[in-house]
Amino acid sequence: MSVAPQSVGRRERNKQAKLDRITAAAAELFAEHGVDEVTTQQIADKADIGAGTLFLYAKSKGELLLLVQNSGYADALVAGRTAAEAIPDVFDAVMAIVRPVVECNRKQIDNGRTYLREIVFGDPEEPHHRDALALTVQTEQMIAEVLTRDPRVEPRNAARLAHVVSAIMFLSMAATINISRSVDEILSEISEQVYVLLRRGGTHPPAD
């Protein structure tokens, strides 16, 4: 017997509503207390669902953090792309992509650093982890697109340079030594390294 389309639609809407409640509950609790101080039971209670239901949407607290942070990361990439499109200079356009990602990651420093660890060490078979990895790929693709504005940079080299820029950004955000540093200080550190990289890679960032 076939399932009525309206029944399928209702079921999907209910699933999305639960996911939205879980995301909102986790985001609020993580922001207020930090991911390490929050339990999955607290998130389930705040979302008004059972713990078993919660684990149908995210199998661990790490996956819940990925779910929450991925949304902010995606918004940061949209902002970065928009800003970069309006900036003709290659170096400045690359940094326009980097800035909102760093700002997003540093809204709650411990959560941001835990998010980066989850991306590196989490289970790539889990859906929210796959989404996070896809966002890192999008970041590199956006940077590579900007780098190819310079006719001296071949697409293959642009992808390689973009991979290194991404690595610089993530290491700067994750480094323990940078815990107390401001967003602008971290961006300055990234900028200095990217400047040297792009100069050697064939692009010519503006002089200080």
Q: Please list the rounded mean pLDDT of every run of 10 residues in the chain (208 residues).
A: 58 87 93 92 94 89 92 95 96 98 94 93 90 96 96 91 96 94 96 91 51
d(CA 70, CA 26): 13
The predicted structure's pLDDT at residue 7: 54
Helices and strands, number each (H, E), in the chain: 9, 0
Domain range summary for the chain, segments of one domain joined by +:
1-57, 60-201
pLDDT at 1: 47
CA distance 166 to 160: 10
Q: CATH assignment of 1-57?
A: 1.10.10.60
Burial of 18 (0-12, 13-18, 19+ CB in 10 A): middle
| pLDDT of res. 184 | 97
Closest CA to 162 of 98, 87, 84, 106: 98
Tell which CATH classification among 2.60.120, 1.10.8, 1.10.357, 2.60.40 matches the domain 60-201. Answer: 1.10.357
What pLDDT was estimated at residue 163? Answer: 96
Which residue, chain included where needed, has tokens 């690359």? 94
